[in-house]
Chain A
Amino acid sequence: MTRFLLRRIAHAVFLLFGVSVLAFFFTTFAPGNYFDDMRLNPQISAERLTALRADYQLDRPMVVRYLRWARSVLHGDLGLSFAYNTAVGPLLWTRARNTLLLTGTATVLTWMLALPLGVWSAEKLGRPADVALSWATAVLLIIPDLTLALGLLVLAVRSGWLPTGGLVSVGFGGFSAAHRVRDVAWHMVLPVTVLVASALPVLLRHVRAAVAEALEAPFLRAAEGHGISRGRLLYRYVLPAAAHPLIALFGFSLGTLLSASLLVEVVMSWPGLGPFLLEAILARDLYVVIGGVLLSTLFLVAGNFVADLLLFWVDPRIRAEASRR
């Protein structure tokens, strides 16, 4: 177990290191930097620009910058943002919190819908109910999230039923606690709908396939013969047998918590990582971009790690193999 854990952690560190080096490598070749626009400003002299570039270490070679940046990562700063003139870490964190609120809710909802629907559809495999559900998922699958997000936004604007963007209403500061929760939840309806609709079909298909395969197993015939009820059979016997691919998928959903909603956030002007990173790209605020990429990689690695741990816990075969090694 310890060896297994150590191997995974070493792999994760290697991956993060690789990503950061790659990002830095690209930044040195990137044309232009944050201070380029200032050259056009007659009020900023050439000497002042040189001084600014020196202040932010932009004139140093890549290796020096990388080492200094690595040291600031160890402090949790992740470098300095040019635009905000503060450490990137806290900036990213406040935005990531909003993103996680959105994607966390969407992920929980997606799984809560996909599991029962998938089991139900696998049980009725090939019958009208299953076929109807397959068609519904196919329709969701061919509507890309950009189309869906913009379409819902147009509908919301024209009907006026739902807020069209942002996290809170005007005057949020004066609301009572219950009112605040309601207000945020109200603003989450549209983006969460889009996220669920874009993640659900893929997940549903996997659950259906996995459960349908598990339903073929002979041990189920035996369990049925023992007179175990259908519901208990499906959720206590079939679902664990189908768990293997689903756990890997769950790890993937955890891993994409920071990246699944970027586009939706921009469309719905949700104050999360999406608009923040877009702004940073357009302004060439490089450490913010690198920090965002690194943070999302960390999440993906962590998601896979959690999936591995869960598999280890659920599947005795993996445990046996690991202890034999």
Chain B
Amino acid sequence: MSTRSRLLLCVAGLGALHLGVACAGFFAPYDPTAQDREHPYAPPMPLHFVDARGGFHLLPFFYAQELQAGTFDQYLENRSRAIPVEFFVSGAPYHVLGVFPLRIHLLGGGDVQMYLLGSDGYGRDLLSRILFGGQVSLLAGLIGAGLTLSIGLCIGTVAGFWGGWKDEVLMRVAELFLALPWIYLLFAMRAFLPLTVPPLKAFLLVVIVIAAVGWARPARMVRGIVLSAKERDFVRSARGFGASDAYLLRRHIVPETASVVLTQAAILVPQFVLAEMTLSFLGLGVPEPVASWGNMLSSLQHYNVLVSYWWMYLPALAMVPFFLGYLLLESLLQGSYATSKIE
């Protein structure tokens, strides 16, 4: 397989994963904030095809978990009744991509609550929360990376193209940001901002903090590219023909930085998703009741959750396929740019 088709395959895979999370409302059986106080910490109910009597079902079914009398978190699987999974059911309303209102869900358990990945302490469906939490975490990573790369691109271009005291000052500041370990920087930035804020504001704050921390490395790389690009012969001759700075930048210099920016994006997005998770996990990020992969994990800081409800760990695994995709994308991008340079 050529590098190009591999790259396309990888992008398609990543796109499909992101689309799945973007359409969380459709794939999630329930509303992520809907509570079911009758079923706290219900264990996962796996889908079956073969029932207790050995009969085969064409469509998957599950067994209900029934709360044992006198306990609040001990469940017994009711094997006597196989509950068929219903497809394309009408359920809780949601918005696709935040715009189109819909009610249709891929899966539903009918009149029985179906917790395919279990439920949390408030009886909220973990699968729905993982899908909706992915929207928050991935969006924070994507917007953060976009912001950081824009800042880095601007600063790197200014420093590299105009040079002089601008270059000197900007690169000194960049050094300052590179010198600080990023988790401290994240901590410190967050420490100097308000602590208790509503979810949307907290989300924006997290994104801004993450973006403000990471711009230095891309800025330095962009500066290096711009420095070498502006001495290239075709740029010099364009300048000799009277091209303005703005034209040179738009037409010749900024396009040269595309390889660095794209590769950095593939590195930064997962790193920033992780940054959001870290902040939210520590209680400095997106607060409840909004789900994010980070704040869903923070309940694991309680010993009893860690001991008794292993499925609360599942959100930590949700990001692994995304990270795999981005790692592949990064190595493929680096490979393709290395070979295109040789050609």
- Set of chain B residues within 8 Å of A23, measured between Cβ atoms: 188
Q: Hey, what's the 0/1 contact readout for B261-281 against A, CB within 8 Å counting as 1?
A: 000000000000010011001
Is B277 a contact partner of A154 (Cβ separation < 8 A)?
no
- Set of chain B residues within 8 Å of A143, measured between Cβ atoms: 320, 323
Is B176 a contact partner of A256 (Cβ separation < 8 A)?
no
Is B192 a contact partner of A277 (Cβ separation < 8 A)?
no
Partner of B184, one of A22, A280, A292: A292
Residue B194 interfacial (CB < 8 Å): yes
How many A-B residue pairs have C-beta atoms within 8 angstroms? Tell me: 114
* Interface of B: prevailing SS: helix
Partner of B323, one of A144, A256, A259: A144
**Which positions 92-127 of chain A face chain B at CB distance < 8 Å?**
none
Residue A31 interfacial (CB < 8 Å): yes
Is B320 a contact partner of A147 (Cβ separation < 8 A)?
yes
- Set of chain B residues within 8 Å of A259, measured between Cβ atoms: 181, 183-184
Residue A242 interfacial (CB < 8 Å): no
- Set of chain B residues within 8 Å of A146, measured between Cβ atoms: 274, 277-278, 281, 297, 316
**Which positions 26-45 of chain A face chain B at CB distance < 8 Å?**
26-27, 29-32
CB distance from B211 to the nearest CB of A (A): 16
Is A26 a contact partner of B192 (Cβ separation < 8 A)?
yes
**Which positions 154-170 of chain A face chain B at CB distance < 8 Å?**
154, 157-158, 164
Residue A141 interfacial (CB < 8 Å): yes
**Which positions 302-343 of chain B face chain A at CB distance < 8 Å?**
303, 306-307, 310, 313, 316-317, 319-320, 323-324, 327
Is B179 a contact partner of A297 (Cβ separation < 8 A)?
yes
* Interface of A: prevailing SS: helix
B residues adjacent to A (C-beta < 8 A): 172, 175-176, 179-181, 183-185, 187-195, 274, 277-278, 281-284, 297, 300-301, 303, 306-307, 310, 313, 316-317, 319-320, 323-324, 327
Can you report 30 residue pairs joining A to B where beta carbons are below 8 Å apart?
A15-B179, A18-B176, A22-B176, A26-B189, A27-B192, A30-B191, A30-B193, A142-B327, A144-B274, A146-B281, A147-B319, A150-B300, A157-B307, A158-B307, A164-B303, A259-B181, A259-B184, A262-B183, A262-B184, A263-B183, A267-B301, A280-B191, A286-B191, A289-B187, A293-B180, A293-B184, A293-B185, A293-B187, A293-B188, A296-B180
